[in-house]
Structure 1
């Protein structure tokens, strides 16, 4: 009898596609009945165009969820429009907290200065969770080489209680990303050339110095490494992985 649990489904999918290339994992993810309804979640950040390009090749009508925290760099908003148009993505959905939520939680726009977790929660985690409620799985651009809790990533992982996550680029190296960008002549996020290898909200992202970890500029000076949209064991992860 097949194991119908999330762990069982993720295990079957990893066994089925273990030796597949990233674009093949993505191609099959959008049609495999073990996943159901699938969306791509994209930040339109430093490396996002790789997966967005793959989607444009295999399933340009796939829903793409872009979370506008309303605190993003202007360059990110412009880049999102440019890339969506250039790649012919036909179902890009801009997700954001409503005006009432902003007025209630952060009327003067300073919440990030004293409670980054609360800011990420209402601006990013809650709107995304609402948007993902109609999907059975979502695709991310996370990769093992990014470090932290990402070092053990598999192509497919459970997200209790109901969804699966798909990480087509899990096994890529940093050089693979750069090679793909060059080979496909893809537009780079303009902030990358200015020292931002990982790009989030403007108030909480700083340039990275030579030799630093690529994500060192995210929430600099704190132990926070994730915004909270990723889960481990059903728990939100905003800092270090729970023991």
Structure 2
């Protein structure tokens, strides 16, 4: 961490307002942001949420270089590609991650609200709610802050995200907010990180199987998510975790 960031964080009160932290960290590197989050909150109260998707390895690599024991929350929604589950296991081993928690939706909720596994077609927002939003809220209960991998260059609702924001009662750190695609490529190259297996098949962003499609040339990286549904986010970044 740079001296100026270290000095300002050391002088800040415990769990300061998100806006104050964003002011301090807005030009910090991803590693500095994660180190600051760890210093402010402590490992026991900090989690990184990862989809183990097409760009996830870069953030996980930076985190592992800071502290591979930071808890990693992975939402196993029940509709994921097998390639994503395998990629989770590959990265966990390669990066030496010691606390990866795979969180699933509650079986009683699925039986009650999606017994035929067709909710994704009739009401994708409701499907995301029971398979991702509610499980994440449950998984984050022990934590005071969380880290995620959203980037401004992904466009849409992500185009102006801050580095630190308030998420209900929690702090939310976006250490990759300012990174470029070229910087992510460099992290992959220097870290000898394997790509997600579906990238070679034309998937630029990977979520659940029914709602993920290949991206066409010239489309933004998330164009293949919920194609034709008028939906761009699953809800974990638009619904406060409280």
Superposition TM-score, scaled by structure 1 size: 0.89
The match for 1:166 is 173
From 110, 113, 128, the counterpart of 1:120: 128
1:180 correspondence with 2:182? no
Larger deviation, residues 94-103 vs 221-230 = 94-103
Contact 2:43 2:70 in 1 (8 A): no
Aligned residues: 232
User: Cα deviations across residues 97-156 of structure 1 (Å, max 9, x unaligned)?
Assistant: 122222111111111111101100001100110111111111010000001111111110
Superposed displacement of residue 164, structure 1: 1.2
For 1:15-94, what aligned pairs fall within 5 Å after superposition?
Answer: 15-33=23-41, 37-94=45-102
- Gap change, CA 1:176 and 1:205, over 3 Å in 2: same
2 CA distance for matches of 1:147 and 1:185?
A: 27
User: Which whole-Å CA distance do the structure 2 matches of 1:62 and 1:164 have between them?
Assistant: 16
Note if contact 2:75-2:102 (Cα within 8 Å) is conserved in structure 1: yes
Unpaired runs of 5+ residues, structure 1, are 237-243
> Which structure 2 residues correspond to residues 146-165 of structure 1 after superposition, within 5 A?
146-160=154-168, 162-165=169-172
Q: Could you tell me which of 205, 225, 238 is aligned with 2:232?
A: 225
Return the structure number with greater helix share: 2
* Matched-pair contact (CA < 8 Å) for 1:36–1:137: no
CA distance in 2, matches of 1:136, 1:231: 18
Provide the residue aligned with 2:144 in structure 1.
Answer: 136
TM-score (norm 2): 0.90
What is the deviation of 1:16? 2.1
* Structure 1 position 33, deviation (Å): 4.4
- How far residue 214 of structure 1 moved from its aligned partner, in angstroms, is 1.3
Which of 185, 200, 217 is 2:207 aligned to?
Answer: 200
Name 1:97's counterpart in structure 2: 105
Gaps of 5+ in 2: 1-11
1:145 is aligned to 153
